[in-house]
Structure 1
Amino acid sequence: MPNTTDLTQQHNDPSFANVWQELQWRGLVHVSTDEAALERALSEEKVTYYCGFDPTAASLHLGHLVQLLLMRRLQLAGHRPIGLVGGSTGLIGDPRQTSERVLNSKETVAQWVELLRAQVERFLSFEGENPAVMVNNLDWTSQLSAIDFLRDIGKHFRVGTMIKKEIVAKRLNSEEGISYTEFSYQILQGLDYLNLYRDHGCTLQTGGSDQWGNLTSGTDLVRKVEGASVHAIGTPLITNSDGTKFGKSEGNAVWLDPELTSPYAFYQFWLNTADADVVDRLKVFTFLTREEIEELARRTAEEPYKREAQKVLAHEVNSLVHGVEATEKAIAASAAVFGRGELTDLDAGTLDAVAAELPTARVGTGTHQVADLLVATGLAESRSAARRTLKEGGAYLNNQKVAGEDAELDAGQLLHGRYALLRRGKKHLAAVVVGG
């Protein structure tokens, strides 16, 4: 299995003459400012670039991971990153497609700023010739009075241009409309770029293509105020080949915080990637070379049942986000659940994560008939069907075949005193949690 790229290791894929060509091949550029000028700058100069992350939740999610890895690629290519966590923009939130955001308290936003800052920092290096810098836009916006903001910044924005921004236009044409607060968000983001250009020589901003209106607010403001030409890259919104939204598991966001999405669940998400999507995911979310990815694409086409590309993808991304040790635990858990390892080797936290991903029955302490548990977990439609499965030898408790229709689960069989895994046949799994 390929090794996960080290932050201190310069990315050196001989397939590419420059990082711009690599970004294009990986499908990371949906829209940009002057393409030729941007390619030239990334090939000939040390570019200072930034990406902003708003604390509108306690964790970043998979959509943000695209930007974090793009930042990392650019740094490995010799460019200098600025990670911005929006202490001020997070108090407002960028306009959503549907409705106004619920504003969080200043105390909550301040707490989330620190959580997100720590997450961003994990993907950047703060040493070497191009060390990263972290900033909080509250540091410069909190010093501005409303009058100064309107006189010095607001005068450079034209309402006619602002209402043409895609998300703003959609909201204006909806029943919900848009408040002046969210309408002004693009001005604040433009101010970020202007400050970073002045203070750090920043000439490139990255973000999702759905943020393009906000990104160009910054390039336009720097041009108007400083007379300088600066750049922006908008990455494509990632969708699954079947048309479903990427980045959701069972309808919920896949978070980068292990307390919100466990490393086991995170690993399973990537392991379940469809064959039609896996090559594109390898390009965007791993640092494997073009040669390595093309070889995995060939193996997927020839032997899709081996799921080799998915296994590499899950290992690489999980290692990037949660570390190699957590990834190895997730792999061991995945193997043990399907009878290819020892369930007794799994710690209680991992078992709890496994149970969270499976149909689960929560029962009280005491002895329980396995037939009843098969029904409670949904592995059998009725008690008679459950007893038939047991009679035919098709039920497993903690990977051990259950003998007899009247078999029971007692306290001595529980893992860590409260867990048991049930399996019907080879693939149908469920968990039992005893005592709450």
Structure 2
Amino acid sequence: MKINGILKDLKIRGLISQITNINSLYIKINKKPITLYCGFDPTSDSLHLGHLIPILCLRRFQLFGHKPIILIGGATGMIGDPSFKINERILNDKDTIYLWTEKIKKQFFNFLDFESKKNSAIILNNYNWFNSMNLLSFLRNIGKNFSINKMINKESVKTRIIKNNIGISFTEFSYNLLQSYDFAYLNKMYNVCLQIGGSDQWGNITSGIDITYKLFKNKVFGLTVPLITNKNGTKFGKTEKNTIWLDPKKTSPYEFYQFWININDDDVYNFLKFFTFIDVLDINIIREKNYNLNILLKYKKILAEEITKIVHGKKSLNSIKRIIKSLFYGSIEKLKEKDFINIMKSGIPLTILKKSISLKRFLVFSKISKSLSISKRLIESYAISINGKIITKIEYIFNDKDRLYNKYTLIKKGKKNYFLIYWKK
């Protein structure tokens, strides 16, 4: 059978890792739009880069006319998913999970349409149905439908069990039951027939398909998207220094943009398919061109701009472009006050000062130079500029005119090394 529509789009983009009964699912989708869901446990106060592919897949489905549901795991987040985790998760308290839930709920509005008349996205929380369920009802009505033998043989559980020094608690072992019931509940209450998730969720998804059929005799489907890892095997979006968060307060839009500019050259082609909505035919033309450094940089910029605009909006992207243009092409005067807030979070070395000092002493204080004599030579050789203006006066002292927006001063050493001063009152 020839597959068209959303499933074809996902397939040619390489976004289908595993799928149950693709022909039957295609027939169902082809008859009329479906409702699907993806679950996200609130394990932090922000979503991160690892969440992007399933979120963007929900958006792709919505653009094809289907109705997406975001399921936040207020209940499952209190248990902890053991899937391919080396150690037991730390259990967070109810209040913390509630606060994290409220924060990440807001982030989904950047990606999905919640005001569409035909297929508006909705956000649900599984705490709402598990909180009212008592233990005996859960064991009798849900637990009896699960085989311990099958659960033990699931890869995510088996991996933990064979490591005798780690093992798995009953709490995490029961996670599979909770997530599976989510699928059945959503099928009954919202007519959900498809669950999507990362490839590490395959076992939980297939269990949900089984229990939905056992409880309601309804056939539902599962689809997983690939999990992307770095060359060292760590999850994509986790650098040596930190995680790339979607919250601009945790990872600035400038840092986010630079992350994409610095990805491995071999990943550019696939990431354009995974993380953007550029037509695949256009992306294929890119691949056919002879790669050189200039072409790769061009398409890294396209990737960085597209995904930054999706995650942080057009205004943030324009701010980043102003910063780059100002820092590297000498247009400091075009920087806005909000741009400096972005620069402060960008990783550029920052020095906080209360009182004015000489430029020569500042260079030593901020470790730009090792001594006053080296500072003198840097100034004499026209290597230091303040807010884009080269300073030649050896005994130069900072003054009020050097403070952009009364707070910021940009120092440049050589052609590319920038340093920021924040003047604290």
Say whether the fold is shared (TM-score over 0.5). Answer: yes
What is the match of residue 272 of structure 1? 262
Provide closer, same or farther for how the CA distance between residues 340 and 314 of structure 1 changes in structure 2, counting only shifts above 3 A: farther
Following superposition of structure 1 onto structure 2, how do residues 368-383 of structure 1 map, counting pairs within 5 Å? 368-380=357-369, 382-383=371-372
Q: Among residues 4, 15, 22, which one is paired with 1:28 in the alignment?
A: 15
Instruction: Say if 1:398 and 1:422, in contact at 8 Å, map to a contact too.
Output: yes
What is the match of residue 103 of structure 2? 115
Following superposition of structure 1 onto structure 2, how do residues 35-434 of structure 1 map, counting pairs within 5 Å? 35-95=22-82, 97-126=85-114, 127-174=116-163, 175-240=165-230, 245-249=235-239, 251-297=241-287, 301-302=291-292, 304=294, 307-343=297-333, 345-347=335-337, 349-380=338-369, 382-434=371-423
Q: How far, CA to CA, are the matches of 2:378 and 2:112 in structure 1?
A: 53
Q: How far, CA to CA, are the matches of 1:361 and 1:290 in structure 2?
A: 42
The offset of 1:131, in angstroms, is 2.4
The offset of 1:298, in angstroms, is 5.2
Q: Deviations over 1:376-425 (max 9, x none)?
A: 44544555444333222122222222214443434431223332222222
Instruction: Say if 1:339 and 1:399, in contact at 8 Å, map to a contact too.
Output: no
Q: Deviations over 1:237-257 (max 9, x none)?
A: 113467664213552112222
Q: Deviations over 1:313-355 (max 9, x none)?
A: 22211211122122211211222122442346321x4313312
The offset of 1:194, in angstroms, is 0.4
Instruction: Say if 1:363 and 1:433, in contact at 8 Å, map to a contact too.
Output: yes
Provide closer, same or farther for how the CA distance between residues 373 and 38 of structure 1 changes in structure 2, counting only shifts above 3 A: farther
Instruction: Say if 2:193 and 2:220, in contact at 8 Å, map to a contact too.
Output: yes
Once structures 1 and 2 are overlaid, which stretch shifts more, 360-369 or 200-209? 360-369
The offset of 1:170, in angstroms, is 2.2
Once structures 1 and 2 are overlaid, which stretch shifts more, 309-318 or 179-188? 309-318
Instruction: Say if 1:60 and 1:116, in contact at 8 Å, map to a contact too.
Output: yes
Q: Which amino acid aligns with 2:81?
A: D
Q: Deviations over 1:254-293 (max 9, x none)?
A: 2222222222222222233333222222111111112332
Instruction: Say if 1:219 and 1:230, in contact at 8 Å, map to a contact too.
Output: yes
Q: How far, CA to CA, are the matches of 1:397 and 1:283 in structure 2?
A: 42
Q: How far, CA to CA, are the matches of 1:241 and 1:340 in structure 2?
A: 36
Instruction: Say if 2:388 and 2:412, in contact at 8 Å, map to a contact too.
Output: yes
The offset of 1:29, in angstroms, is 1.1
Pairs aligned (count): 420
Instruction: Say if 1:296 and 1:308, in contact at 8 Å, map to a contact too.
Output: no
Instruction: Say if 2:38 and 2:70, in contact at 8 Å, map to a contact too.
Output: yes
Q: How far, CA to CA, are the matches of 2:71 and 2:225 in structure 1?
A: 18
Where does the alignment leave 5 or more consecutive residues of structure 2 unmatched? none
Q: How far, CA to CA, are the matches of 1:73 and 1:22 in structure 2?
A: 9
Once structures 1 and 2 are overlaid, which stretch shifts more, 301-310 or 241-250? 241-250
Q: How far, CA to CA, are the matches of 1:247 and 1:405 in structure 2?
A: 45
The offset of 1:105, in angstroms, is 1.9
Q: Which amino acid aligns with 1:418?
A: K
Q: Deviations over 1:60-106 (max 9, x none)?
A: 11111111110000111121111111111122221261222222221
Q: Which amino acid aligns with 2:112?
A: L
The offset of 1:44, in angstroms, is 4.1
Q: Which amino acid aligns with 2:152?
A: I
Question: Please, what TM-score do these two structures have when normalized by structure 1?
Answer: 0.88
Where does the alignment leave 5 or more consecutive residues of structure 1 unmatched? 1-15
Q: How far, CA to CA, are the matches of 1:166 and 1:375 in structure 2?
A: 56
Instruction: Say if 1:71 and 1:81, in contact at 8 Å, map to a contact too.
Output: yes
Instruction: Say if 2:75 and 2:130, in contact at 8 Å, map to a contact too.
Output: yes
Match of 1:52, SS? strand
